[in-house]
Each structure stands twice: as structure tokens, then as C-alpha cells.
Structure 1
Amino acid sequence: MEVVAVRRGAVRSVVVAGLLVLGAAGVPGLPGMSGSARAWTGPEADVAYHGRVSLSRGLLRVWVVPQNEGPAALSDATLRVRLSAELADRQELAEGCARAGLREVMCETGALPLHGRGRHIGLLLALKEPVPEVVVRIDTWWNGGASDRDLSNNQHTVLALDTGDSYAF
């Protein structure tokens, strides 16, 4: 399994994916959409995330393993990590990750094969100020245009206390 290296950089597909999602929401007749009911006719996949979160002295560690339970493979997806506390102004993010706001980071998952795992995503996020706890919300921002009937395994909310303890999801 591939571990994402830490470097300064930007996500290649987050902006493009966002435009596709926004375009699909408001433009009738786009591929994958049919009729006025806009029934989805694209592939179906079941994206899931498993991992750990820990907080210690203003540093939040997030480790995520994306996976796909199928029935279709995905060429890419975008993981979103939202925090209840503000991020420090400067961050060194893992390759394929980009800051998306004061409290938000987006990361590419890479290819998600049918019944397989994507690359491991490791983040070390500095908070603007040390806090006694932080709520971390992890979900899918974009899933390659597939439908996902089971959102329970890709939407997680984790409360991390400033103890250095690891909280699994």
C-alpha cells in the first residue's frame, strides 16, 4: 500500500471535481442525469473510510485508509476533512491534499479498485491555537461521479481530546 509523502503542493483534481459537481447540480442534460427527476444512471460504488485521529498540543494527526466496496471501481475520489477549530495559517500537507478554507482540507484518494483500498492518507495539521478538544468530520466531497447508497461508512464524526490518545473510526 502506498503512503502519501509530505510535501508542499496542491491537489490536481479538487478544483476540477468541484466544477463538475457544481455543474451537474444545475445544468440539465449532463451525462449521468436523465429527465426532470434527474435519476442517476452512472456507476455505483461504496466508498468507505477507516482510520485514526489524535490531538496533542495543537497538532492534529489524521490517518485515513479509503476503500471501495463496489460494485464499480473508481479512478479517483476526494476526501474532505473538516475541523471545529481553525487551522494555522501555514500547513505542510501531504501530496494530493489542499487546504479548502479556515477549517477544511481536501485530499485525493487515488484509484479505488473494486473491493480494494486506495493509498493511505496521513495528515499532520497544526491548529491556529491549542484547544482542549476538536471535532473532526470526515466524508466524501466528490466520488468520481458514482452513486453511493451507503453513506454510513464514509461519513464520520470524531471527537479528539488533547491527550495524544488515538481515536479510531
Structure 2
Amino acid sequence: MGPEVGVGGGVGSEVGGEADLAHHGHVSLWDGRVGVWLVSENLGPTDVAEATVRLAFSVPMAGGFDLPPACLWSSDRVVSCRTGELKATGGVGELALDLRTAGHPDELTVDITTAWRDGVADRNPRNDRHRVLVLATGDPYVF
């Protein structure tokens, strides 16, 4: 029997156990600003040394703003952030972003997904993939 391929672990990588990553939080939009508060959790039985969460926005973000040290711009619409170590059955990582859009949209969507999970399998991806419609009201839209 050959090695399994871990979702997000890369083609050809062996699965190093099973985790259950989940992302929850809220997103707000007001006056061309986007606030994101995100909690990443590992509900599964295997520790995850590092994972990457990807936030893809439907509108371009304005450049020139600093991101937290764990994050980088993948494009003008995508931010990728390391979660840090997520211990089994309850390891938590938090992230807060204060971004600006290139204009002043009335709404946007943000897709939140796990892009990489250090070679572990996640057979329950429903709780680490979200699409959130955010209106420019300043209200927190929870996911």
C-alpha cells in the first residue's frame, strides 16, 4: 500500500496523522476598511506544527499597509497567514487584520480556507472553509 496524500500537505507527501482544523471569527467593512478577527483551532487527535490560512477578498486591497509578521500578501486580493502550532484537541491561534480596500465598495466577499496543514489529513474540511458576504455597514459578519 502506497503513501496517502494529505489534503493541503502537498502532492506525494505522506499523511502524518489526522487533524480537524476549524476557523471562526468575524469580518467587518466600513469606509473602505476591512477588519478581520480569526481564531484557528485544531479539534483533531494530531498536533499540527504549522498551518496556513488563506483569506481571498473579492475586491483588491490597497497596498502599503503592514501585515502581522505571520502574514504575507499573495496578491492584491489574497493574504496568507501562518497559524503557529496547533496542539491536538484544542490548540488555538488568533489573528487580527486591519486592511484597506482599493476603493470604497458597498460589499465584498471573503473566502477563508486552510491552504496548508503540515502534512496531516483533515477529513472534515467543512469547518475550515467559509465564504462570507460583508456589507459596508461596520457590522461584524460572523463565520
- Would the TM-score normalized by the shorter structure come out above 0.5? yes
Kindly indicate whether structure 1 or structure 2 has the higher relative contact order, using CA contacts under 8 Å at least 6 residues apart.
Answer: 2
Which residue in the other structure is 1:46 paired with?
Answer: 20
Residue by residue over 1:131-167, the C-alpha shift from the partner in whole angstroms, topping out at 9 and shown as x without a partner, is 0001011010001111111111000010110000001
Cα distance change of structure 1 residues 162 and 42 upon mapping to structure 2, 3 Å threshold: same
Cα distance change of structure 1 residues 61 and 145 upon mapping to structure 2, 3 Å threshold: same
Determine which of 102, 118, 131 is the counterpart of 1:128: 102
Residue by residue over 1:45-77, the C-alpha shift from the partner in whole angstroms, topping out at 9 and shown as x without a partner, is 000011010000110001000000111010110
CA distance in 1: counterparts of 2:46 and 2:33, whole angstroms: 37
Question: Does structure 2 conserve the Cα–Cα contact (< 8 Å) formed by 1:135 and 1:160?
Answer: yes
Which residue in the other structure is 1:7 paired with?
Answer: none
Larger-Rg structure = 1
State how many pairs are aligned. Answer: 136
Query: Can you give the 5+ residue segments of structure 1 that lack an aligned partner in the other structure?
Result: 1-19, 33-40
Runs of 4+ aligned residues of structure 1 deviating over 4 Å after TM superposition are none
Q: TM-score if structure 2 supplies the norm length?
A: 0.90
Q: TM-score if structure 1 supplies the norm length?
A: 0.77
SS at match of 2:93: coil
What pairs with 1:1-169 in structure 2 (closer than 5 Å)? 24-25=10-11, 30-32=12-14, 41-169=15-143
The structure in which a higher percent of residues are helix is: 1
Percent identical residues = 38
Question: Does structure 1 conserve the Cα–Cα contact (< 8 Å) formed by 2:13 and 2:119?
Answer: no
The structure in which a higher percent of residues are strand is: 2
Residue identity opposite 1:130 in structure 2: H
Residue identity opposite 1:140 in structure 2: T
Question: What is the CA distance between 1:92 and its match in structure 2?
Answer: 1.3
CA distance in 1: counterparts of 2:44 and 2:137, whole angstroms: 37
Residue identity opposite 1:160 in structure 2: V
CA distance in 2: counterparts of 1:90 and 1:118, whole angstroms: 29
Query: Can you give the 5+ residue segments of structure 2 that lack an aligned partner in the other structure?
Result: 1-7
